[in-house]
Structure 1
Amino acid sequence: MNRPRCISVMPREKLIQFGALGWLLLLGGMALAGPYGVLAWGENLSLLEKRQEQIKELKQERVRLQNLVTLLDPHHVDPDLSTELLRRDLNVAHPDEYILDLPER
């Protein structure tokens, strides 16, 4: 009577062992090739550098736009800038006039 019980326990233990082994292999594979694994580390670093460059460019653009906002303050507008913007945007320059565009930085 003990013998059939021992035989029925063995496949169950093996099934648990194979399940645990499968789980460990899955975790190992994810640690190696998953989205946050070792192989993706270099790609994540290059993406981080690219994002930092974009942030730097956006900060420079923000400073430039803040300067324009300051010059176009409704209480004290820079006359040269307002004339330049009006002539450029409304296209009201005389044929013999030259309009210098704002430099893009």
Structure 2
Amino acid sequence: MSVDSLPRRRLRPIVVPLLGVAVLSYFGYHAIHGERGLIAWWQLRQDIRVAESERAAVAAERAILERRVALLKPGHPHPDMLDERAREMLNLIGPDEVLILTPDK
């Protein structure tokens, strides 16, 4: 038995478990922090929640606009809506009306 073979014999039982731990660590890290890992999944779920709330807000705004457009149909325009649109487009007010300015969004 030479002096050179003594460290090799002691390292042999340690190498396989060390390689196993290294491989498990690699895959474990990427399962959490990877492109399709847990953190990315949680962020994607949050993005979906935000997008759904934005979609609901846009759907509500669309419903309001559709209702206003329905009041201006060519066959039977609603008199109040017609008056509102004419005043807005022509920038007119009556002599006995009070104008209240609101800041734009």
State the TM bucket, normalised to the shorter chain. 0.5 to 0.7
Query: In structure 2, what is the equivalent of residue 69 of structure 1?
Result: 69
Residue pair 1:33, 1:39 contacting (<8 A) in 2 also: yes
Where does structure 1 differ by over 6 angstroms across 4 or more consecutive aligned residues?
Answer: none
Report the equivalent of 1:83: 83
Q: Mark the CA change 1:57 to 1:64 in structure 2 (over 3 Å): closer, same or farther.
A: same
Contact 1:32–1:39 (8 Å) recurs in 2: yes
TM-score (norm 1): 0.61
Q: 1:72 to 1:100 in 2, by over 3 A?
A: farther
Between the two proteins, the alignment pairs up a number of residues equal to 80
Separation in 2 of the partners of 1:84 and 1:99? 13
Distance in 2, Cα, partners of 1:45 & 1:36: 12
Question: Any stretches of 5+ residues in structure 2 without a counterpart?
Answer: 1-18
Percent identity over the alignment is 29
Question: In the TM superposition, what are the counterparts of 1:24-103 in structure 2 within 5 Å?
Answer: 25=26, 29-98=29-98
Give the Cα–Cα distance (whole angstroms) in 1 for the partners of residues 76 and 99 of structure 2.
23
Q: Letter of the aligned partner of 1:69 in structure 2?
A: V
Report the TM-score, using the length of structure 2 for normalisation. 0.61
| C-alpha distance in structure 2 between counterparts of 1:39 and 1:73, whole Å | 51
Unpaired runs of at least 5, structure 1: 1-17
